[in-house]
């Protein structure tokens, strides 16, 4: 399971004109929604904190499941831990947070698109901003990791370990490919949602059920991958409903009833053998189990969202005593509540800035740490020097690389998690400051390349001029292919790094020239000056 908690596109998207209250049910009648533009937008602190919490869950899960053992011949063999542990399937119901993130993504997407639309922006404006925020840090990861793996291969690291490291580093990228596709379809998905919300939901739900039934009847597991086209758009649409009903609180008994019904139905289907009890198994390929889990998570979000927002509202808590309309004096919040809210605000701000980088780089940190421990174990036993030490049952090696799920392995998990998260945070802060060509510079490169192509072609040679929509589709396709190469093929040997990075850069060059900057600047602040800019979003995002 992987998750991008802080896609840099998302923080800006969670800005809304007011703090939402409750949201579960769709609107009574289809209608066209326009955002309130009179008040300055502010961040939804609860959504930001939940996303950051999801990120922490992902880092912990990946770190706990990543391990290695030292073979009798001295080879370091990466392996997966915990997957066969008793109780793992039951706990997966709690740490499988992908549906929750796609719900939050749907909420962010529809509010961001409506804001862009209200300010005169177009679909290409919306897509351009999101494509840049996804493709830029991904391209940086691919290039740096590819160079690092190539250097490791030149230093004598075995090809098997290089391939495994490449696969593990690219593992989180599947989410970016799916999220990029969903982001590019937000204007279309919102169009159908605003005109027929229940019908759109029913069509997607029917498609999910049909794929699950067909897969089970035929026994062809590969058919289940069709649900990538239906499960995540359906879960995203639950986020649309959450945004629509933000100003129409739903009674708590109704929410509790929906929560119990979703979990009861999911439990019944799992008990009947329709779905695996392990929610990670239901992730790839995605099944209807994740939809039911998403409904349950949406209900929990509904129950605590408004309350959490009130607890995190530093300005409200910091206000002094006030007189209500009834003449009652209300006391200011206790100091410890104010300090607690201020602490979480700092955590949220950090997560909004660096969360995307943590998501992208934490597996690289894990791989490097496992490699370092493997080398240390080899050295301690003597494999790396050729002078084997006569140590009983490899005590030193087992001390460094303990047997998975042994007492010593469990005892070292907390220090291991702290080191992984600490280093991931440092790497994320460093990666966020890597300079990258601005949109204006990339657009200029695109114009220069276009002029060069026209200059080298024979006089009168017909040159196809693509519309903005066609270029947007090509840009999304190129970015998706670049991510897919890094995910499915890997970033080593170096040729795959060059190809993946080239496709990502091509998509950025194409998207930089799309439409006008009006919608994007209104949403996210002025365009940066031409030249190199850090990955951190400019002020105003």
- Average pLDDT value for residue range 74-83: 81
Of the candidates 434, 481, 541, 502, the one whose C-alpha atom is nearest the C-alpha of residue 180 is 481
Q: Express each pLDDT in 179-226 by its tens digit.
A: 899 989 999 999 999 999 999 999 999 999 999 999 999 989 899 999
Q: Return the pLDDT at 266.
A: 96
Residues 6 or more apart in contact with residue 142 via CB below 8 angstroms: 482, 486, 491, 497, 500, 501, 504
What is the DSSP secondary-structure string of 246-275? TTSPPPHHHHHHHHHHHHHHHHHHHHTTSS
Indicate the pLDDT class of residue 249, thresholds 50, 70 and 90: confident
Q: Express each pLDDT in 480-527 by its tens digit.
A: 999 999 998 888 889 999 999 999 999 999 888 875 444 333 333 333
Specify which of 4-8, 222-226, 404-408 reaches the highest per-range mean pLDDT.
222-226
Helices (H) and strands (E) in the chain, counts: 21, 8
Strand partners, 80: 66
**What is the C-alpha R_g of the chain?**
25
Q: Return the pLDDT at 517.
A: 43
CA–chain centroid gap for 152, Å, is: 28
Q: Return the pLDDT at 86.
A: 77
Give CA torsion, residues 398, 403, 408, 411, to 10 deg: 130
Of the candidates 176, 119, 168, the one whose C-alpha atom is nearest the C-alpha of residue 145 is 168
**Taking 70 as the threshold, does the pLDDT of residue 330 lie above it?**
no
State whether residue 526 is helix, strand or coil: coil
Q: Return the pLDDT at 515.
A: 58
Q: Express each pLDDT in 339-394 by its tens digit.
A: 888 899 999 999 999 999 999 999 999 999 998 888 888 777 765 555 545 554 45
**Taking 90 as the threshold, does the pLDDT of residue 448 lie above it?**
no
Poorest-pLDDT segment among 102-106, 244-248, 304-308, 482-486: 244-248
CA distance linking residue 502 with residue 482, whole number of Å:
8
CA distance linking residue 66 with residue 77, whole number of Å:
11
- Are 124 and 523 in contact by the 8 Å Cβ rule? The answer is no
**Taking 50 as the threshold, does the pLDDT of residue 172 lie above it?**
yes
Strands 76-80 and 66-70: antiparallel
* Tokens standing for residue 303: 């129950």
**Taking 80 as the threshold, does the pLDDT of residue 324 lie above it?**
no
CA distance linking residue 41 with residue 45, whole number of Å:
12
Q: Return the pLDDT at 499.
A: 95
Please state the domain extents for the chain: 9-28+40-312+332-456+464-534
Q: Return the pLDDT at 334.
A: 74
Residues 6 or more apart in contact with residue 481 via CB below 8 angstroms: 503
């Amino acid at each position: 399971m992987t998750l991008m908690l802080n896609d840099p596109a998302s923080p800006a998207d969670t800005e809304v004109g007011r703090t939402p209250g409750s949201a579960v049910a769709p609107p009574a009648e289809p209608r066209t929604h326009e955002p309130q533009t009179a008040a300055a937008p502010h961040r939804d602190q609860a959504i930001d904190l939940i996303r950051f919490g999801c990120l922490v869950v992902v880092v912990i899960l990946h770190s706990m499941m990543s391990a290695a053992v030292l073979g009798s011949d001295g080879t370091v063999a990466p392996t997966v831990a915990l997957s066969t542990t008793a109780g793992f399937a039951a706990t997966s119901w709690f740490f499988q947070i992908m549906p929750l993130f796609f719900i939050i993504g749907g909420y962010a997407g529809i509010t961001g698109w409506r804001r862009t639309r209200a300010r005169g922006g177009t679909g290409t404006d919306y897509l351009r901003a999101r494509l840049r925020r996804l493709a830029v840090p991904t391209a940086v990861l691919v290039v740096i990791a590819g160079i690092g793996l190539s250097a490791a291969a030149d230093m004598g690291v075995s090809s098997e370990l290089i391939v495994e490291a490449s696969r593990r580093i690219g593992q989180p990228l599947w989410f970016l490919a799916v999220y990029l596709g969903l982001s590019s379809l937000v204007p279309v998905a919102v169009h159908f949602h605003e005109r027929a919300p229940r019908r759109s939901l029913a069509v997607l739900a029917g498609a999910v059920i049909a794929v699950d039934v067909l897969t089970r009847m035929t026994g062809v597991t590969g058919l289940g991958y069709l649900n990538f086209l239906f499960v995540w758009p359906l879960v995203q649409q639950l986020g649309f409903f959450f945004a629509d009903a933000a100003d129409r609180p739903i009674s708590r008994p109704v929410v509790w009833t929906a929560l119990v019904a979703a979990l009861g139905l999911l439990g019944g289907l799992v008990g009947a053998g329709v779905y695996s009890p392990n929610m990670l198994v239901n992730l790839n390929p995605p099944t209807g189990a994740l939809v039911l889990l998403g409904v349950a998570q949406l209900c929990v979000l509904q129950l605590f969202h408004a309350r959490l927002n009130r607890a995190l509202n530093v300005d409200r808590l910091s206000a002094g005593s006030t007189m209500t309309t009834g003449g009652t004096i209300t006391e200011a919040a206790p100091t410890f509540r104010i300090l607690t809210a201020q602490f979480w605000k700092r955590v949220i701000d950090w997560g909004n800035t660096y969360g995307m980088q943590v998501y992208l780089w934490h597996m690289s940190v894990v791989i490097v740490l496992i490699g370092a421990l493997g080398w240390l174990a080899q050295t301690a036993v003597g494999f790396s020097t050729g002078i084997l030490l006569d140590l009983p049952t490899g005590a030193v090696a087992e001390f460094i690389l303990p047997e998975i799920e042994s007492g010593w392995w469990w005892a070292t998990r907390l220090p291991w998690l702290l080191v992984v998260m600490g280093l991931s945070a440092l790497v994320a802060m460093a990666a966020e400051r890597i300079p990258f060509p601005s949109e204006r510079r990339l657009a200029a490169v695109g114009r220069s390349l276009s002029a060069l192509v026209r200059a080298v072609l024979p006089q009168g040679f017909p040159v196809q001029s693509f519309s903005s929509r066609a270029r947007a589709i090509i840009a999304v396709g190129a970015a998706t292919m670049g991510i897919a190469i890094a995910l499915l093929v890997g970033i080593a040997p170096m040729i795959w790094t060059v190809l993946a990075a080239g496709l990502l850069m091509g998509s950025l060059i194409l998207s930089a020239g799309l439409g006008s900057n009006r919608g994007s600047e209104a949403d996210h602040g002025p365009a940066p000056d031409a030249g190199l800019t850090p990955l951190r979003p400019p002020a105003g995002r």
